[in-house]
Structure formats: C-alpha cells, structure tokens
Amino acid sequence: MKTIIIIGIIIVGFFGAVAVFASISPSTWQDNRTTFQGDTKLDENKEKINCLSKGGLWTGNSCSVPDFDAPKVIECTGNCITEAVTKIVDGDTIYTANYKIRLSLTNTPEKDELGFQEATLFTAMHCPSGSMITVDQDDLQPFDVYGRILGKVYCEGGVINEILLSNGHANILTQYCDKSEFSGESWAQSYGCKPVSVEPPKTDVSKVISTEVPKDCDSSYPDVCIPPYPPDLNCGDISYKNFRVVGNDPHRFDGDKDGIGCEK
C-alpha cells in the first residue's frame, strides 16, 4: 500500500512540474553590444552562448558557424605577416611571438567599458591562441603610437576587423579613415569611413596671364598692345615705355637692339 502511495505522489509531482514550466512566460532579453533582443524561452540564451562558443555568428534567432576548413581568400599588399597567436590582449589587440598587432580602424571597448569582456572573448574564439593568422600591415599607417603593427587581420573565420564590426563588438575609428590603406574597403565604409571627395584646386582667374596676343596688337610687343605696322609709329605716338621687344620690331622701337623698346 505504501508503495502505491509513493508512486502516486511521484506521478502527481511530475505532472505538477510540467504544468509549472509550461506556464512560465517568455522572458525578454537584450545584448547591449550586439543589439540582439527578443522574447525567448530561458534555454534560448543558452543556445546563443553555445553558438558563440563554437565561433558561430548569431543573427536573429539562428546560428551560423563558419566553415574553418574552407579556403580563405587573402588579399595582402605590402608587408604581410603570418604567425601563430600567443595572446589575445583585448578585442582589438593580438600578440604573436614576434609582434604586437593592433587592428586597423577597428576599436573595441577598454577594460573599464561595457562590452570589454564580450569583445575580448569574441576575438579569442575567432583567433584562438595557437591558431595561424595573417596580418596585412597598413601601408599608409604601419604603426600606432605604441609601436604596435596596424593592420587587417585574417583569422580562421575571415577578417576579424570586419567580423567584430558586423557583430556589434566594435566601432570604426573615423578619425583615421583618411590615414588608413583600408578606409576604401567595403567593411570600413559600411561602418563609418566615407569616401573622400577631392575637389580640384580653384584657380584665381584674376591672376591668370594670357599668352594669347589680341588680333589688333603686334606680337613683337607681347607685354603691351601696340597696333601692327602700318602705319609706322614712333615712341612719341604711344604711352608705353621700357617694354619688351621680340621678333622683327616693325616699328623700330628697340633702336639699340637690347630687347627693350622706348627706353627712357
């Protein structure tokens, strides 16, 4: 009899627990760095964490994991470095055995800022310690003020500069857009680097000296306007003095042939 009572209690307890969990309303959550938000069951947050721990990208309510075995297209110009990661300092700083690398144009939160830990872990998942990375050093701004190499970094999942920006873990350093080799790339322009329009220098037309001689002026006197021969003119017939004479001097203003007409 006691056994039957115990079994009955267990059955009632089981169905009671099911009823309680079924009645739990969805809880609203939001990730301040990635802007992911929505009404979710409690275990959906766990799904997101599992996705990110595998190096996946969580968009909407689904996870996509990059195919790390797929060949990566690395477009590297100038100085390129391929080495193994030894340390992830923070979201935008990576160390190898021989170099300290700072991501070009990409800025993640500092230690005392919201999102620091998330950005650091995100970079560590995509560029794990021991993995090989390729750094395309910025040709226009090769080093920062601390002597770290500035560059675009290819990790297992692609360009980490772009991946951090697209997942909301970083912002673009717009003050360096005009100093970086990578400011014209699509990922940089999508997140804040605008194309720089270069206007041609304006010419002050008042200072332009025309080399064209008017039709009613003799070309032998390029700096002044003297009517062509005939009639024959003398220095007393014109108001100009000490002007340049070239060519055949039809009015014979340059009597001593020194290239100056009507000298005082």
* Pairing relationship of beta strands 132-137 and 149-155 according to DSSP bridges: antiparallel
CATH 2.40.50.90 in the chain, residue ranges: 80-190
Looking at per-residue pLDDT, the higher value among 54 and 129 belongs to 129
Question: Nearest Cα to 221, choosing from 249, 252, 241?
Answer: 249
DSSP structure class, residue 87 = E
Which is higher by pLDDT, 40 or 106?
106
Smallest CA-to-CA distance from 122 within 55, 172, 179 is with 55
Please state which CATH number belongs to domain 80-190: 2.40.50.90
Question: Between residues 242 and 73, which one has the greater pLDDT?
Answer: 242
Query: Please, which residues have CB within 8 angstroms of residue 245's CB and are 6 or more apart in sequence?
Result: 220, 221, 253, 254, 259, 260, 261
Sign of CA dihedral 161, 162, 163, 169: positive
| 190/188 Cα distance (integer angstroms) | 5
Q: 13-34: b or e for each residue (b if 16 or more CB lie within 10 Å)?
A: eeeeeeeeeeeeeeeeeeeebb
pLDDT-derived band at 207, boundaries 50, 70, 90: very low
| pTM, two decimal places | 0.51
Q: Looking at residue 232, what is its pLDDT?
A: 83
Distances (CA, A) of 15 to 10, 41, 42: 9, 20, 20
Bridge-based pairing state of the strands 100-103 and 149-155: parallel
Distance between CA atoms of residues 101 and 107, nearest Å: 13
Q: Kindly report the average pLDDT of the chain as a whole number.
A: 78
CA distances from 128 to 86, 95, 124 (A): 9, 11, 5
Per-residue confidence (pLDDT) for residue 41, from 0 to 100: 45
- Strands 80-90 and 93-96 come out as antiparallel
**Confidence class for position 20, pLDDT limits 50, 70, 90:** very low
Q: Which amino acid is at 2?
A: K
Section 218-243 average pLDDT: 85
